[in-house]
Amino acid sequence: MPKKLVIKVTAGPEAAERCSQAFTVAAVGVASGVEVSLWLTGESSWFALPGRAAEFELPHAAPLPDLLDSILAGGRITLCTQCAARRDIGEKDVLEGVRIAGAQVFVQEAMADGAQALVY
């Protein structure tokens, strides 16, 4: 049975370590051959926009743009529908490869056989 890692990140620059940990775990999962689905919610929603990851800094952490690129290359990134709406972010605004979907899709992914869900 294939394993899937579903990660919801709720933090942005205001909780930089938690945010970085979520992206790092997702990128390591992709590099390890695990099917990864990273959900951007709350303040992490801004990282769905071009150039926003480059503004993030955390000493001794992998650069967020590099982590984001590796996740996009081998996994899936989803921006929460409600979080996007609250920030006036539309489908035309987000990075190529980022989808916008809601809680129903998150629950389906998190409850799928072989899935492990983590929330940061």
Query: pLDDT of 1-23, one tens digit each?
Result: 568 999 999 999 999 999 999 99
Q: How far apart are CA 30 and CA 33, in angstroms?
A: 5
Query: pLDDT of 22-31, one tens digit each?
Result: 999 999 999 9
Instruction: Kindly indicate the confidence band of residue 67, based on its pLDDT and cuts at 50, 70 and 90.
Output: very high
- Cβ-count burial of 20 within 10 angstroms (0-12 exposed, 13-18 middle, 19+ buried)? buried
Q: How far apart are CA 21 and CA 19, in angstroms?
A: 5
Query: How many other β-carbons are positioned within 10 Å of the β-carbon of residue 91?
Result: 10
Q: Is the pTM value of this prediction over 0.75?
A: yes
Q: How far apart are CA 40 and CA 27, in angstroms?
A: 14
Q: How far apart are CA 34 and CA 43, in angstroms?
A: 26
Q: How far apart are CA 15 and CA 115, in angstroms?
A: 26
Q: How far apart are CA 4 and CA 52, in angstroms?
A: 27
Both structure tokens of 55: 């503004």
Could you tell me which CATH class the domain 2-117 is placed in? alpha beta
| Strands, E assignment, the chain | 4-9, 35-40, 76-80, 98-101, 115-119
Task: Give the model's pLDDT for residue 2.
Answer: 66
